[in-house]
Structure 1
Amino acid sequence: MTFSLKLSPILSFAVLFSFIGYSQNSTEKATPIFKDGEAQIVEAFSNSEKWIRHDLWVETEFDTDGDGEPDRMHVAVTRPEQTETEDLKLPVIYVSSPYFAGVAADAPGTMWDVNVELGGTAKERFHPEVTRRGQRPIISNSHITKWVPRGYIVVHSSSPGTGLSDGAPTIGGKNESLAPKAVIDWLCGRAKGYTEREGNDEVIAYWSTGKIGMTGTSYNGTLPLAAATTGVEGLEAIIPIAPNTSYYHYYRSNGLVRSPGGYLGEDIDVLYDFVHSGKEENRAYNNKTVRDTEMKNGMDRETGDYNEFWSGRDYLNQMDKMKAALLMSHGFNDWNVMPEHSYRIYKAAKEKGLPTQIYYHQLGHGGPPPMSMMNRWFTKYLHGINNGVEKEENKAYIVREQDDTQEPTAYKDYPNPDASNVTLNLTAGGVMYGGLTLNSSSVKSETLSDDATISGRELAKVAYSKNRLLYVTPKLKDHLHISGVPKVSITLSSNHESANLSVWLVSLPWQEGGKITDNIITRGWADPKNYKSLTKEEDLEPGKFYTVNFDLQPDDQIIKAGQQIGFMIFSSDKEFTLHPKAGTKLTVQLDETTLTLPVVGGKDAFMRATN
C-alpha cells in the first residue's frame, strides 16, 4: 500500500504541530526567489524547526550481501514544510557517502607494511571492525543549512554496506554507481521506497520536481560521478569536490605501488575495512566475497600493474552514458586525491560536449567552489533559470597563490590556452646542482643511490646528496607561469631488477615554514619495469638503459622571480612508495632525459625569465 507522510510515525509531534501552526497563520504561498541568476535565501524556508525530516529505504536492482533480496539504501530527507502544507515541489541536492555512520578507528597494523622489497609480499595486516553510529531519521546534517533556505530539498544516503544500508562496500564497484542511481530513480518516481528496511509500506517522493544535483567532497565527491556515469535521468548537474575518479590512480602510479599522501600503506582493502559499517551479520559474507576474494585477487600489490580489476573502478572508462553538467573542484596541492583525478574527467566531459567548468585552488584536499559558483550552477540546471552559466566564455577559475579561495581568477580554460610546451635538458652536476636548460648536455650519465629513510624534502634542501639528482634553472628574473601537465622522459639503468622512480618539481631555495605553494610545484612516480605498458611489467636487466615516459601531476602555478625551478630525480619516496632496502643504484643518461613544462607564453616567456 502507499505510505502517507501525514500519518507517518516517523514524523515527530513537533513537526506535525508546525504544520498546523503554519496553516493557521499563512496567507501567501512561499516560492523560491532568484536574483542575479542565483537562488536567494527565503525566510519562509529558513526556520529549521519547521523543516520536515524523515527517512526511508530505497530498493535497488542488486543484491551484494547474499541474502537473496534486493539491497535497500537508507535515505534521509530534509525539506521545507511548504512541500507538505502548500503542495510545493522543489528540486533536490543529493549527497551520498560511506562515512555517515562512522569509520574504523586507527589501530596498529591496519595499513600494509611498506618495508618490503619491490615485488615482495607483505605480511597479513590487521582487519578492524567499525562500530556503527547515528540514529534515525537523520543520516547527516551536511549541506542542509546552505540549500534548504534557498528552495531545495536535501537528501542524504548511506552507500552500500554502510550505516543502515544493505549490501557490501565495493570501493568503486558497480553497486556504488547503481545505489545513487536507485535513489535518483525514486526521486523521479521510477523506483520504490519503503518506510522500513524490511517492509512493504511505500513512500512516494511527491514533493520532488525530478531535478536532482549531487555534490560532496572526496569519496562523497566520487559518488556523484559514479551516479552520472549511469546516465540516470533526472541527475542534471554534479559538483564533485576533490573526487577520486580512479582507484588505480589513487593507489598506484604508472605501474608503481604508491600510497595516497598522508596514508602510507593504505590500499583499496584498507579503505573497505575503514568504511564497512553495515549490518554486523552481513560482514562475514561481504569480507569473504569482496575483500578476501575480489580485492585480494585483483589489487596486485606485487606488480602494481593495471588490470581488469582496476579498469572496472576507473570512471573514465564509464563516461559514455554521462549527461549531467559538470562543475569540478580540486586543489593543486592535494597529495591525497591528486589533481589528475579531476582533470582527466573534466577533459573527457568537455570532449563529450557536456556543459563544464573547473575550479582549482592552491591548497590541499577538499575545498568547494565559491558559493556563488555552486549556486549559479544548481540554479540553472535544477531550477531552470536562464542565468547564462553554460554560455560563460571562461571555463576555468583558478585561485592565484596569494588570493582568497573565494576570489578565483577567470581563465578561458584549463590548461591556460596561452601555454605551450617547453622542453628542457639536463647538464652535469646533479649530486649538487646540475643545469635545467634549453641547451643539451655533453655529459652522458650520472648516478644516484636509493635510500628510503631520507625524505624528499631532505633531498631537495641539501646542497649535495648521492641519493638524488637535482637539476635547476638559472634564478628567475621574471615570474614564470606554468599551466598544464608537465611530462618527463627519463632514460635510466638500474643495478637491480626492480626500482622505484620518483620525481619532484620544486621551487628553490626551499622555504622552511613556507606556504603550501612555496616549495613543491608538482610530483610524479613510475615503475621503470612498466616502461612499455601499464598492464605488464618486465624485469630490468642490470646495466641496460630504458626510457620511461610519464606525466607529473597537473598544476597551475606562478613561480616567483628570484626562485629556481628544480627537477629532482630519486628512487624511493619515503612518503609515498614502498621502502626496499637501501643501495639500489639508478644511472640517468642525461642527454636522453628531458622535462617538458607547459609555460604560459611558451619558449619566449621561459627565455625572458631565465636569461
Structure 2
Amino acid sequence: MRTTKSWWRASVVVVAAIAVGLPAATATAHPTKDRNKPVIQHGVTQPVFGYADAIRERVFVTSDVDSDGDGARDIVSMDIIRPKASAAGLKVPVIMDASPYYSTVCRGNETECKADLDGDGLNDQWPLFYDNYFVPRGYAVVLLDMIGTNNSTGCPVTGGRADNISAPTAIDWLNGRRAGTDATGKKVVANWHNGKTGMIGKSYDGTLANAAAASGVKGLSTIVPISAISSWYDYSRSNGLVTRANNYSGSLSNTVTNPARRLYCAPVRAQLGVDGDDTTGDYSPFWAERDYVPNADKVRASVFVVHGINDDNVRADHFSKWWDALAEKKVPRKLWLTGTGHIDPFDFRRGEWVDTLHRWFDFWLYDVRNGIMNEPMADIERAPDVWETHRNWPVPGTKTTPVALRPGVDGAAGELVLSTPGNGPKGPKGPKASQETRTFQDTPTMSQANAIRHPSDPQANTANRLVFLSQPLKAPLHISGSPIVKIKASVNGEDTSFAGLLVDYGTRPRFSTVGDGIRTLTEEDCWGEQATFGGFAENACYRQAEKTIATNPQELVTKGILDGLNLKSLSVSQPLVPGKKNAVEVPLLPEDYVFAAGNQIGVVLLGSYSGYSSRAKQTRAEITVHFDNSRIELPIVGGRPAAVRAGL
C-alpha cells in the first residue's frame, strides 16, 4: 500500500485480482456469464459488460422521516441498472444521481425524464449518459427519487431533513443496514454491491450529494456536485437580504412534487413559507438545517466540485464556502471552475469531462491507480475554451491586498489607489486618508446594467451611485478568491442595503451571460452503449454545445450586497442609528479573473438595487461614505508586488 500526495489523507489499495493489460480485442468484448472482475487497461475500466442485457430493478426503502405527517414513514424509491454479471459474482460500485426532477423538470440539456413505458414496474428511459457509459464498465447506476417526488412518498421540504435523508437512506440499504423491497413487497438485498457509492448531479441533484456527504453516511466514497447549493440560506438570502422570497421555496417544492400529491402537500409548502421568515431575512434554525458547510467535519467522501463562476442561479459562493470548509478539514478534493453559468460540464467541456470523471470514479470506487490524485487540483477556464491548471484554489501566491477608495472631485469618479501598509490597529490606510465624505441615494429601481454603464456617463458618479476607477493597468492583474468592500458609512435612516460591484472597464472578448454562455447545436455525439427497453430506444447520443462570446466595453466581474440591519449578525436584525458612522463589510462573490493591461478596474457602490434578484428595500435612504480607511481588499495573485507592477 502507498499513498499519493500529502494534501489528501486517503490510502488506496490495488486489488491484486483485477485484470490488467488485456489486449484491446478482449477489453472490448462482451463478457462470458462467469466474468466477475472488471478489466483495467490504460488506467481505466473497459466496456466489457454490455448494456442491453443489464439488470433493471426498482427498489423501495423506508426512511426515518414522515415529511407529510400522515403517521407513516416516507418511502424512498430508486431505479437501478447494473451489469448482468453482477448476478453471477461481480461486485460493483454504485454511481448515484439523486434528484427531485425525474418526472417533472427532468434532466440534462435535452430534458430527459424517467419513464416506465410498458407498465412492468421497471424504468425504461434513463436520463443522462451515466448508465450508457458506466454500466458496460462494471458499475451500477442508481437514479433515486428524492422524498416527495416521482415514485417516492412524502413531501419535498426544499433542503430540509426529508430532502437530505433521501440518499443516505438508499446508501444504508446498499450496505445492508436497512431493508428494501420490490413493488410486491418482496425483500431485496444489494448482494452485488462492493460497498462504495459515488454521487453526482447538477443543481438540486448536486445539492443532495452535498447533503449526503455532510451527513457522514458510511459507504459514500465520493461526490461530484455540479453547480450545487451548499447553503439554502445563501440561495434564498444574501447577507440578511431576501433574494428569493419563501414563495420561491414553496413554488420549487410544488414544481418537484409528484403531481398527484401536490394538493396533498400544500400544507407542508405553506409551513415552509412561515418558518423561513421573509420578514427579516435572518439566519435561523430553519436555515441551519439547510446549511451543509458547518458539517464539513463529517464528510468521509472525496469531493470533485464543478461550478460556473458566472452562475447567477446557484452563485459562486456556494462552491467557495464549501471548498474552503473541506480544505480546512483536509478532505480529498478537486475543482473545475468554468466561465459559463449554470451549465453541466458535459455541455461545456464534454470529452475532457467524460475522461476525467471516468478516471475519478475508477480511482475512488474501483481503487484503480490512474494518477488522477497526483494531477493539479484545480482546472480554471481563463477564456472561452482556454483552460489552465493550478495546484489549488485560490491560486497559490494569492495575497489579500487593500486598495483605497479615494473620493472624486465635482462629481467625477473617485480613484482606486494601492494602500500603504499601516501599523496601527485600524490596519492599512490609503494615501491622503481624510475626513471627506460623499453621499448617494439608495435607489431600489437601479438596474445592474445602469449601475455599471450609466447612460449619461459610464464612469461618472450620479445621485444613486459612487464610482472609483484605477488608472489604465500597465500589466495584467490576476485576482483569485473573494474580494471584500470595507467602507465607513452613515445613513439618514434606520435601514438600507449596501452593495458593491467590481467592474472591468475596457473592451475584450468575454464570456456571454446569454443562455448561461452556451448555445446548443444540432450535431450529436455518442457516449456509451445503446439498447431498447420497453419499446424505447435508450440511446447514448447527445447534441453538442458551444460557448457564446460577448464583446462589451465593460464587464461585471463580481458583486455583493449586505442588509444594513445585519451589520453585526446574520441571526439578529438591528436597526441602524441615523447619522452614526458604521464599519460596513460587503463580501463579494468569489472570482478568478485577469484584468487585461490597458483596462481599468472599477468599484461601484450602491444601496438596494434590482440587479441582485432581490426584493429591493424601498427606504430610499441617503448613504454617506466616509473616506477614512474605506477600501476594497482584492485577492491578488502575487499580492502587493503584482499590484505595483500593474500600476495600482
Query: TM-score per shorter chain, which class?
Result: 0.7 to 0.9
Aligned to 2:145: 158
Aligned to 1:531: 567
Would the alpha carbon gap of residues 510 and 445 (structure 1) be closer, same or farther in structure 2, given more than 3 Å must change? farther
Aligned to 1:554: 590
Aligned to 2:385: 403
CA contact (8 A) 1:478 1:560 kept: yes
The root-mean-square deviation of aligned C-alpha atoms, in Å, is 2.6
Is 1:607 the equivalent of 2:644? yes
Which secondary structure state, in structure 1, belongs to the residue aligned with residue 488 of structure 2? strand
CA contact (8 A) 1:461 1:510 kept: no
Would the alpha carbon gap of residues 450 and 277 (structure 1) be closer, same or farther in structure 2, given more than 3 Å must change? same
Deviation per CA, 1:10-35: give whole Å up to 9, x if none: xxxxxxxxxxxxxx994773743333
Deviation per CA, 1:347-387: give whole Å up to 9, x if none: 22222222112221111113338223222221111001123
User: Residue type of the partner of 1:192?
Assistant: A
- Alpha-carbon distance, 1:210 to partner: 1.7
| Aligned 1:232-381 pairs, distance under 5 A | 232-259=217-244, 267-277=248-258, 279-280=260-261, 283-284=263-264, 286-288=265-267, 290-293=268-271, 295-368=272-345, 370-381=353-364
Q: Which moved more, 1:379-388 or 1:473-482?
A: 379-388
Distance 1:153 1:356 in 2: 23
Deviation per CA, 1:299-339: give whole Å up to 9, x if none: 11121111111111101123332201111111111121111
Structure 2: stretches of 5+ with no match in the other structure: 1-29, 107-112, 346-351, 419-429, 514-549
Give the counterpart of 2:69 among 53, 59, 66: 66
Aligned to 1:89: 91
Q: Which moved more, 1:146-155 or 1:594-603?
A: 146-155
Distance 1:589 1:274 in 2: 47
Aligned to 1:29: 35
Distance 1:325 1:299 in 2: 31
Distance 2:449 2:45 in 1: 46
Aligned to 2:127: 141
Is 1:447 the equivalent of 2:439? yes
Deviation per CA, 1:223-261: give whole Å up to 9, x if none: 1111112222211111111110101111111111124xx
Give the counterpart of 2:453 among 461, 464, 469: 461
User: Residue type of the partner of 1:564?
Assistant: Q
Structure 1: stretches of 5+ with no match in the other structure: 1-23, 105-131
Q: Which runs of 4+ in 1 moved over 6 A?
A: 510-514
Distance 1:387 1:379 in 2: 8
Aligned to 1:492: 489
Q: Which moved more, 1:63-72 or 1:220-229?
A: 63-72
Which secondary structure state, in structure 2, belongs to the residue aligned with residue 347 of structure 1? helix
Distance 2:196 2:31 in 1: 30
Give the counterpart of 2:54 among 51, 54, 57: 51
Aligned to 2:630: 593
Which secondary structure state, in structure 2, belongs to the residue aligned with residue 400 of structure 1? strand
CA contact (8 A) 2:452 2:556 kept: no
Is 1:383 the equivalent of 2:366? yes
Distance 2:297 2:263 in 1: 34
| Aligned 1:98-109 pairs, distance under 5 A | 98-103=100-105
Give the counterpart of 2:500 among 499, 503, 516: 503
Distance 2:259 2:178 in 1: 22
User: Residue type of the partner of 1:60?
Assistant: S
Which secondary structure state, in structure 2, belongs to the residue aligned with residue 414 of structure 1? coil
CA contact (8 A) 1:432 1:469 kept: no
**What is the TM-score of this pair, normalised by structure 2?**
0.79
Distance 1:584 1:256 in 2: 16
- Alpha-carbon distance, 1:43 to partner: 4.7
Distance 1:351 1:472 in 2: 35
CA contact (8 A) 2:39 2:48 kept: no
CA contact (8 A) 2:384 2:511 kept: no
Distance 1:103 1:381 in 2: 30
Which secondary structure state, in structure 2, belongs to the residue aligned with residue 416 of structure 1? coil
Give the counterpart of 1:416 among 372, 392, 395: 395
Would the alpha carbon gap of residues 52 and 566 (structure 1) be closer, same or farther in structure 2, given more than 3 Å must change? same
Which secondary structure state, in structure 2, belongs to the residue aligned with residue 421 of structure 1? strand
Give the structure with the higher percent strand: 2
Which secondary structure state, in structure 2, belongs to the residue aligned with residue 504 of structure 1? strand
Would the alpha carbon gap of residues 65 and 468 (structure 1) be closer, same or farther in structure 2, given more than 3 Å must change? same
CA contact (8 A) 2:34 2:89 kept: no
**What is the TM-score of this pair, normalised by structure 1?**
0.83
Would the alpha carbon gap of residues 226 and 577 (structure 1) be closer, same or farther in structure 2, given more than 3 Å must change? same
Give the counterpart of 1:394 among 353, 372, 376: 376
Aligned to 1:218: 203
Would the alpha carbon gap of residues 393 and 164 (structure 1) be closer, same or farther in structure 2, given more than 3 Å must change? closer
Distance 2:321 2:620 in 1: 36
Q: Which moved more, 1:349-358 or 1:243-252?
A: 349-358
Deviation per CA, 1:450-472: give whole Å up to 9, x if none: 33333111121132332211111
Distance 1:298 1:539 in 2: 22
Deviation per CA, 1:166-204: give whole Å up to 9, x if none: 1121111122222211111111222222112xx531122
Distance 1:137 1:573 in 2: 50
Would the alpha carbon gap of residues 103 and 327 (structure 1) be closer, same or farther in structure 2, given more than 3 Å must change? closer
Would the alpha carbon gap of residues 270 and 495 (structure 1) be closer, same or farther in structure 2, given more than 3 Å must change? farther
Distance 2:49 2:190 in 1: 21
Aligned to 1:13: none
Aligned to 1:231: 216
Deviation per CA, 1:115-151: give whole Å up to 9, x if none: xxxxxxxxxxxxxxxxx98435227422212322322
Which secondary structure state, in structure 2, belongs to the residue aligned with residue 415 of structure 1? coil
Deviation per CA, 1:243-291: give whole Å up to 9, x if none: 10101111111111124xxxx98632332222222652x843x432x32
Fraction of identical pairs, as percent: 33
Distance 1:25 1:243 in 2: 37
Would the alpha carbon gap of residues 266 and 610 (structure 1) be closer, same or farther in structure 2, given more than 3 Å must change? farther
Aligned to 2:525: none
Would the alpha carbon gap of residues 100 and 27 (structure 1) be closer, same or farther in structure 2, given more than 3 Å must change? closer
Which secondary structure state, in structure 1, belongs to the residue aligned with residue 385 of structure 2? coil
User: Residue type of the partner of 1:244?
Assistant: I
Distance 1:437 1:339 in 2: 27
Would the alpha carbon gap of residues 482 and 89 (structure 1) be closer, same or farther in structure 2, given more than 3 Å must change? same
